[in-house]
Amino acid sequence: MAAKLRETAAIGLLWGAGIATLVILIVILAYILVNGLPLISWHFLTTNPGVRGQQGTGIYSTIVATVAVTGLALLVAAPLSVGGAIYLNEYTKENLPRKVFRQAAEVLAGIPSIIIGLFGFLFFVIYLQPYTGGWSILSGGLTLAFMVLPISLRISEEALKAVPGELREGSLGLGATKWQSITTVVMPTALPGIITGLILGAGRAIGETAAILLTVGGALGLIHGLRDPACPMTLYIYNILTEYNDTTTAYGTAAVLIIAILAITFITDYLMNRYTKKLKGL
């Protein structure tokens, strides 16, 4: 009888933990969205912030800045991570060098964003200043590439690993070279997984603040080039909270970010489900 009671209590607690996790997420999202959504209007999205963050202005230049640094980070990290994943999965055996590569990606993913920011400040903002323009979109985007790389590498590698070996053997057996098999058979099969990795990497870049804080400058004007300083949405939230105590605009900006993150979550979840189904059908 006692065992049965303990059983019920324990299972109940586990249910509680699962539900608590859901509730925490819902509370945080709902709080931001309920306060922020009413602020979002066409005007809010397409007007630049005021010089001193006055109310009644928008966040247009910060959205442009977020898109620019994220795009730049992806542009650099996507070929490196997908290429690296192909090399690790298709050209190496399960041995020491492969372990070293994987370990390196893991260490890179674990480096705190503020340390990446310190590096970006020293390398891109100071050392490469003649090329990057100092604090700029270019410095920020390139710094973010260091954070997108390991995420996208890991997920791309998993996607490639999930491609059944028979597909490769079939292609090689028909006389295709290794690279031909990769481009015509392996990659198309793994594509949803690879895209998922890139989208999650983009999500990391959109949400990043600490690394941006030290590299992008924080200027509120609309950028005209990659060497201009800028202020992406995350940094804008931090700045208006700490400098102007303007919670209203911060709610609106945070709501836009949350919508972007939710979209990313749903898209990647959908893609991954389709991918696993597709592989099961093979």
Pattern 120-139, other proteins, x by CB under 8 A: -xxx---x------------
Of 148-187, binders to other proteins (CB under 8 A) are 149-150, 153, 177-179
DSSP, res 39: G
5 binds other proteins, rule: CB under 8 A? no
Rounded to an integer, what distance in angstroms lies between the CA atom of residue 148 and that of residue 69? 11
Which CB sits closer to other proteins, 107 or 174? 107
Which CB sits closer to other proteins, 31 or 131? 31
| Min CB(223)–other proteins separation in Å | 20
Question: With b meaning 16 or more CB within 10 Å and e meaning fewer, what string describes 179-191?
Answer: eebbeebbbebbe
| Min CB(70)–other proteins separation in Å | 12
Tokens 């603040």 identify what position?
Answer: 209
Could you tell me how many residues of this chain bind other proteins (CB under 8 A)?
87
Alpha helices in the chain (DSSP H): 2-36, 42-46, 60-86, 96-110, 113-120, 129-132, 137-161, 165-173, 178-181, 187-207, 210-213, 233-239, 247-281
2 binds other proteins, rule: CB under 8 A? no
| Min CB(225)–other proteins separation in Å | 24
* Sign, Cα dihedral of 183, 188, 189, 192: positive
Task: Tell me the window of 41-49, 53-61, 130-138, 246-254 that interacts with other proteins (CB under 8 A).
Answer: 246-254
Binds other proteins (CB under 8 A): choice among 116, 159, 198, 223: 116
Rounded to an integer, what distance in angstroms lies between the CA atom of residue 31 and that of residue 151? 29
| Min CB(84)–other proteins separation in Å | 4
Task: Give the residue from 196, 217, 199 showing the smallest Cα distance to 278.
Answer: 196
117 binds other proteins, rule: CB under 8 A? yes
**Cβ contacts of 77 within 8 Å, gap of 6 or more:** 145, 148, 149, 152, 201
Pattern 45-84, other proteins, x by CB under 8 A: ----------------------------------xxxxxx
Structure tokens at 66: 């977020």
| Min CB(116)–other proteins separation in Å | 7
41 binds other proteins, rule: CB under 8 A? no
CA 83 to chain CA mean position, Å: 18
269 binds other proteins, rule: CB under 8 A? yes
| Min CB(208)–other proteins separation in Å | 7
243 binds other proteins, rule: CB under 8 A? no
